[in-house]
Amino acid sequence: MKTQLFARFGPPRRAQSHRLWLTAAAALLIAPLLLACGQGSQPKTQELGSVTNLPPDPQDPVVAKVDGIEIRESDLVIAQEDFGQSAPALAADAKREYLIAYLSDIILVAKAAESKKLGETVDFQRRLRFTRHKLLAEARLQDEIKSAVTEEAMRSVYNEAVKGMSTNEEEVRARHILIRVIDPKDEKASKEAENKIRALIERLKKGEDFAALANEFTEDPSGKQNGGDLDYFTKDQMVPEFSAVAFRLEKGQISEPVKTQFGWHVLKVEDKRIRQPPQYEQVKDQLRNIVMRKAQAELIGKLRAEAKIERTDKPAETKPGESK
């Protein structure tokens, strides 16, 4: 239904993007960690990637051994991160057993690969180099986030966003019932949808509850869960035909049939008010992401500016004022 989102923040109950997101460079988030069985911070004397044990760590207990190679609590955490959203839905104890079995299999196969000297191939070394760079890059970005994401930084972004919001824009809160018309050119289907809406309007005029009828009859999926509630919206957030009616009606009024590109609607205005900024706590997660991405973008931009990046696959670009 909505044609655009709030200029600064989406409504509190909806996960929406907004215009405060930074440039594409800010969205750089290194891919999930590559699983390193039994590995933590590698001692300089230890060959990177070898299947071996780390020095004892009382804060990181050993939970299993595979041919003498240790699996620690930290390895289970890394394995869980590696699975991400694809992790099997298991009870805690079953998931722990699953992760230990997964790590055990990787160690066994890794040792078999080492016995065939697969770790010494050029292709493996290239991939190992890439993975090391990626892990180090992620570690540096995470380190930057720790110092950048503060309450003060998030409050600053929030205050700037609120300051930029219009303070005299009207909002309407409305419910609607939609009967969809898949093909706008199908006059027969459109007429049938209109007749259904008119029948519902008659029932509403007789005193039936709008939310109850919306839950039963609306063909807007989200509306079936909340009685057709659209929350508060500004005029430019809805298609013009819908907004024109919503902002013309008074609080408590029910519309005549309204036709839009989605089909036929009946709507009820629940409330009107001057647009309010969301509360800080309601958008705190969005603010954290903004500060995080801004910090990453600034770090990457700074490193790029200080670096000497040469392209050897094409002629060097000549800067303005420089001769070739």
Report the half-sphere exposure of 158 (CA within 13 A, side-chain side): 19
**Topology of domain 170-274, per CATH?**
Chitinase A; domain 3 (3.10.50)
262, 180 contact by CB (below 8 A): yes
At CA 11, angle to CA 10 and CA 17, rounded to 5?
20
Report the half-sphere exposure of 251 (CA within 13 A, side-chain side): 9
Give the separation between CA 77 and CA 69, rounded to whole angstroms.
17
116-123's contacts with Cβ under 8 Å and 24+ in sequence apart are 119/49, 119/50
Give the separation between CA 291 and CA 256, rounded to whole angstroms.
46
Give the separation between CA 253 and CA 241, rounded to whole angstroms.
17
Question: pLDDT 10s per residue in the chain (324 long)?
Answer: 543 323 333 333 333 333 222 222 323 222 232 233 333 343 333 344 577 888 989 999 999 999 999 999 999 999 999 888 888 889 999 999 999 999 999 999 999 999 999 999 999 999 999 999 999 999 999 999 999 999 999 999 999 888 877 667 899 999 999 999 999 899 999 999 999 999 999 999 999 999 999 999 999 998 998 999 999 999 999 999 999 999 999 999 999 999 999 999 999 999 999 888 888 998 999 999 999 999 999 999 999 999 999 989 987 666 666 655
Q: Which of 324, 314, 217 has the alpha carbon at shortest distance from 264?
A: 217
Using DSSP's 3-state secondary structure scheme, residue 210 falls into helix
- Please state the domain extents for the chain: 16-41+49-165+277-306, 170-274
DSSP letter string, 126-146? HHHHHHHHHHHHHHHHHHHHH
What values do phi and psi take at 158, rounded to 5?
-60, -45
Whose tokens are 């069985």? That residue is 37
